[in-house]
Structure 1
Amino acid sequence: MGRLLRLVVLILISLSVGSGGREIKLKHEVNSHSYNHTLAKILVEYASAVYISDLTELFTWTCSRCNDLTKGFEMIELVVDVQSCLQAFVGVAHDLNSIIIAFRGTQEHSIRNWIEDLFWKQLDLNYPGMPDAMVHHGFYFAYHNTTLRPVILSAVQNARELYGNIDVIITGHSMGGALASFCALDLSVNYGMQEVQLMTFGQPRVGNAAFVSYFIKHVPRTVRVTNENDIVPHLPPYYTYFPRKTYHHFPIEVWLHDTGEGNQTYVVENICDGSGEDPACSRSVRGNSISDHLKYYGIELGSDSSGSCKIVMDNNIGQYHTDLGGSIILSRDPTTSSFLKSKLSTDALSSSV
Structure 2
Amino acid sequence: MGPLLFLLSALSALRFTVTEVPSLQLIHPRTITQISASELAGFAPYTQFARAAYCPTDVLKTWTCGEACQANADFEVAFVGGDGDDIQNYFVGYSPSLGAIIVTHEGTDPTQLESDLTDIDIPLAKPSNALFPGISLSVEVHSGFLNEHALSARSILAEVDSLMASKGVNKIVAVGHSLGGALAEIDTVFLRLNIPSASIFAMTYGTPRVGNPAWAALVDSSNVNFKRIDNKQDLIPIVPGRFLGFEHPAGEIHILGAGDAVSCPGDDDATDSDCQIASVPTIFEGSIVDHLGPYEGIYLGTIYCT
Question: TM-score when scaled to structure 1?
Answer: 0.72
Q: CA deviation at 1:86?
A: 1.1
- Displacement of 1:123 in angstroms is 4.5
The one-letter code matched in structure 1 to 2:180 is G
Q: Give yes or no for the alignment of 1:283 onto 2:277.
A: yes
Identity rate, percent: 26
- Residue of 198, 211, 219 corresponding to 1:194: 198
CA distance in 2, matches of 1:292, 1:83: 24
Displacement after TM superposition at 1:42 (Å):
1.2
Give the Å deviation of 1:38: 3.0
Q: Which amino acid aligns with 1:294?
A: L
- CA change 1:81–1:191 in 2 (3 A) is farther
**What is the rounded CA distance, in whole Å, between the counterparts of 2:242 and 2:146 in structure 1?**
19
| Conserved? CA contact 2:172–2:201, under 8 Å | yes
Q: Secondary structure at the match of 2:227?
A: strand
User: Which structure's residues are more often helix, by fraction?
Assistant: 2
User: 1:350 — aligned with what?
Assistant: none
What secondary structure does 2:224 align onto?
coil
Which residue in 2 is equivalent to 1:15? 15
* 1:50 matched to 2:53: yes
Pick from 269, 273, 283 the counterpart of residue 265 of structure 2.
Answer: 273
Give the alignment of 1:1-353 within 5 angstroms.
8=8, 10-20=10-20, 36-53=39-56, 55-81=57-83, 84-106=86-108, 108=109, 111-120=110-119, 121-127=121-127, 128=129, 129-144=135-150, 146=151, 148-239=152-243, 246-258=245-257, 266-280=258-272, 281-286=275-280, 287=283, 288-295=286-293, 296-304=295-303
Moved more, 188-197 or 248-257: 188-197
AA partner of residue 105 (structure 2): F
Tell me the amino acid that sits aligned with residue 118 of structure 2. F
User: Offset at 1:184?
Assistant: 1.4
Answer whether contact 1:93 1:100 (CA < 8 A) is retained.
yes
Cα RMSD after superposing both structures: 2.9
Count of aligned residue pairs for this structure pair:
283
Say if 1:104 and 1:175, in contact at 8 Å, map to a contact too: yes
Q: Deviation of residue 36 (structure 1)?
A: 3.5
From the CA coordinates, give the structure whose radius of gyration is larger: 1
Seen in structure 2, the aligned counterparts of structure 1 residues 154 and 171 have a Cα distance that, compared at 3 Å, is: same
Which AA in structure 2 matches 1:284? A
What's the CA shift for 1:69?
3.1
Q: CA deviation at 1:275?
A: 2.7
**Further displaced range: 217-226 or 271-280:** 271-280
Superposed CA deviations along residues 132-153 of structure 1, whole A, max 9, x for unmatched, are 2211111011112x1x112211
Q: Please report how far the alpha carbon of residue 284 of structure 1 lies from its aligned counterpart in structure 2 after TM superposition.
A: 1.0
Q: Aligned partners of 2:149, 2:92: CA distance in 1, in Å?
A: 14
* 1:75-108 residue CA offsets vs partner (Å, 9 max, x unmatched): 11000146614110001111011001100011x3
Q: Which has the higher strand share?
A: 1
CA distance change for structure 1 residues 166 and 201 in 2, over 3 Å: closer, same or farther?
same
Q: Which secondary structure does the structure 2 equivalent of 1:66 belong to?
A: helix
Q: Distance in 1 between matches of 2:276 and 2:209?
A: 13
Give the unaligned 5+ runs of structure 1: 24-28, 240-244, 259-265, 307-353
Cα distance in 2, alignment partners of residues 277 and 122 from structure 1: 22
Between the aligned partners of 2:90 and 2:48, the Cα distance in structure 1 is: 14
Question: 2:218 is matched by which residue type in structure 1?
Answer: Y
Give the whole-Å Cα distance in 1 for the aligned partners of 2:75 and 2:259.
29
Amino acid at match of 2:279: V
Question: For structure 2, which runs of at least 5 residues remain unmatched after alignment?
Answer: 25-30, 130-134
Report the 3-state secondary structure (helix = DSSP H, G, I; strand = E; otherwise coil) of the residue aligned with 1:86. coil
